[in-house]
C-alpha cells in the first residue's frame, strides 16, 4: 500500500471510530436520563451542608433573656459562670407550654 492509501485508510478508521463513540455516548446518556427520571435529585444548600431542622432553645439567661442555649455545642459563658457559682442547670431550663 502506498502512503496515500494508508493515510486514507487511517482517516476512514478514525471517522468510523468517532461515529461509533458518539453513538455509544448517546446510548449511555439515554440510559442515564432514564435512571435519573425515577430518582429525586438531592437539594444541596449553597453552603454545601445538608439542611438541619431548627433547634428550639432549652436554656435562658435570667439576667439577659435574649441569651438562650439549645444544649448543643460548647456551654455559653453566662451559663458556665452561673454553674460555677453553685446554681443547677435546671434553674435555667425553659419550661415549654404544651
Find the mean pLDDT for residues 6-10: 95
pLDDT for 78 beyond 80: yes
For residues 40 and 53, the answer to whether their CB atoms sit within 8 Å is no
pLDDT for 41 beyond 70: no
79 C-beta neighbours (distance < 10 Å), count: 19
Find the mean pLDDT for residues 1-9: 93
Please state, in angstroms and rounded to a whole number, the distance separating the CA atoms of residues 22 and 15. 11
> Where residue 49 falls among pLDDT bands split at 50, 70, 90?
confident
pLDDT for 35 beyond 90: no
> Where residue 44 falls among pLDDT bands split at 50, 70, 90?
low
Distances (CA, A) of 64 to 59, 61, 78: 12, 5, 9
**pTM, 2 dp:** 0.47
In three-state secondary structure terms, 24 is helix
- Exposure of 11 in the CB half-sphere (CA atoms within 13 A): 6
Amino acid at each position: 500500500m502506498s502512503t496515500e492509501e494508508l493515510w486514507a485508510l487511517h482517516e476512514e478508521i478514525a471517522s468510523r471510530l468517532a461515529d461509533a463513540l458518539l453513538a455509544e455516548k448517546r446510548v449511555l446518556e439515554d440510559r442515564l436520563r432514564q435512571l435519573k427520571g425515577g430518582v429525586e435529585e438531592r437539594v444541596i444548600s449553597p453552603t454545601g451542608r445538608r439542611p438541619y431542622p431548627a433547634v428550639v432553645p432549652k436554656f435562658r439567661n435570667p439576667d439577659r433573656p435574649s441569651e438562650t442555649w439549645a444544649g448543643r455545642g460548647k456551654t455559653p459563658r453566662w451559663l458556665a459562670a452561673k454553674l460555677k457559682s453553685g446554681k443547677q442547670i435546671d434553674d435555667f431550663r425553659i419550661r415549654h407550654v404544651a
